[in-house]
Homo-oligomer: A and B are copies of this chain.
Amino acid sequence: MNAPMSIQSCGNCGLVSMCLPLALTQPEMTQLDGIIKKSAPYRRGESIFRQGDAFTSIYAVRAGMVKTTVVNTLGEEQITGFYFPGELLGLNGLHENVYSGTAIALETVSLCEIPFLKLDELSALLPELRRQLMRQMSQEISDEQNMMLVLAKTSAEEKLGNFLIRLSLRFKRLGFSATQFRLTMSRVDIGNYLGLAVETVSRTLTKLQQRGVIKVAGKEITILDMDGLSGLNRKADEPAKLVVVG
């Protein structure tokens, strides 16, 4: 007998150590499983939720990558994040019961949908669930604040270096190669997120390649010199490590 529910539960998910069920006991995890809905896969380009829609659920990414955006009243769009498996979407929708941004699949994506009202009730009963939810929100606040520094203070090369290092760390955390990975997002998206023109993204990737710190083959990136990548534009006597977001 094929039991789809037992195949796809928090208890046997490879992402437990970075997702909501972290630190839950097995019976507690079963309770959380009881409120989670597994979604059908989203295809590349599909919206998971849209800015302005009523807020109902948060979503944990199970597979694939997602970008989030905000649009101002002039229609100007800013990418606010790229989300990996184990990361939560929709945390910015609670205050007005409206999603304050849009989430879009960058490739085929599977999600766990967690209706927020039920999550809220369960969080009263399970202290570790409540705390982990708050930690995830706190992490996101901190990530966005560090991103403010990147946007306000760093050169194009530093921005790209920082971006690639962050991707590298998250691929590594998921068990993939830290030094060779495929970008799911376009150069236009990278530029949008980092506040750079697409031409500057392209140019700067080429420049980093000419310096020998990375190798670029279309969407494939190979990091050849991790220290070199984090030390971009550093003066010779300065420490070589950039703060890394996420």
Contacts and interface: CB of A to CB of B under 8 A. Distances in A.
Interface in A78-126: 78, 80-81, 91-95, 100-101, 120, 123-125
A70 B149 contact: yes
Copies in the complex: 2
Contact of A151 (B81, B120, B151): B151
Contacts of A147: 144, 148
A131 B134 CA distance: 11
B238 A74 contact: yes
Nearest to A76: B153
Interface residues of A, number: 52
A57 to B, nearest CB: 14
Nearest to A144: B144
Nearest to A127: B124
Nearest to A140: B141
A139 interface: yes
Contact of A153 (B78, B133, B138, B139): B78
A241 interface: yes
A39 interface: no
Contacts of A81: 145
Contact of A241 (B73, B95, B127, B142): B73
Given A127-B124, A135-B94, A145 B70 contact: yes
B124 A131 contact: no
Given A100-B142, A141-B140, A243-B72, A78 B152 contact: yes
A196 to B, nearest CB: 9
A146 interface: yes
The 10 residue pairs across chains A and B that have the minimum distance between CB atoms: A152-B195, A144-B144, A78-B149, A94-B138, A72-B243, A151-B151, A95-B139, A95-B138, A80-B145, A95-B135
